Amino acid sequence: MHVAGFDSSDEEGAEEEGQEPLPLSWLPLSPAYSSAFLGLCALPGCRFKDIRRNLQKDIGELMNYGIQDVFVFCTKGELLKYRAPNLIDAYQEHGICVHHYPIPDGDAPDITTCCTILEELRNCLESSRKTIIHCYGGLGRSCLIAACLLLQLSDVVTPQQAIDSLRALRGSRAIQTIKKFIHSSSVYMQEKLSLDPFTRQ
């Protein structure tokens, strides 16, 4: 049965029949959230070069995981390029709440946008909503945001420790824009007292 809103390329046939499950990594957030994890993955439904994923199957997997919220960091241009132009509509049709913050590939968000994303992430986590974040490969922008979340949740975690945690989880290519991350995290650490609504008293 075809589900409205999915890329018509999903109907191209048997080539996706044997596709591997969508690789999903779970980042532990203890001790701030003792039982909470944040999911990270690559772009569901991606059909680019040698990647031939089926959007309907990928979202079905996310539904089976009980995903309630998804943060998407791909731009609309990227969704077109990677042949998943209807991804956001497809999420919404399945009752998944979408938080779309387009960040150009290779860039880091400005401090205000970063703090907004972190606030929404924490709202989801504190409401016990099962949440994932993704960009294209699940290595750059997604890991950068996840690392900033680790920094926000702890007064003792350093930027390098956050990088190491994400690389242990997602591989050595995680957080590809190191210089931008170090700059963003340094600015973030300086400004979080004034911008972070969750700052400890």
In order, the DSSP letters of 93-135 are HTTPEEEE----TT----HHHHHHHHHHHHHHHHTT--EEEE-
In order, the DSSP letters of 51-99 are EE--HHHHHHHHHHHT--EEEE---HHHHHHTT-TTHHHHHHHTTPEEE
Active site residue: 46, 135, 143, 148, which one? Answer: 135
CB 189 within 8 A of CB 151: yes
CB 46 within 8 A of CB 83: yes
**Is 115 labeled as catalytic in the residue annotation?**
no
**Ramachandran category for residue 20: left, alpha or beta (phi over 0 → left; psi -120 to 50 → alpha):** beta
The residues annotated with a catalytic role in the active site are 135
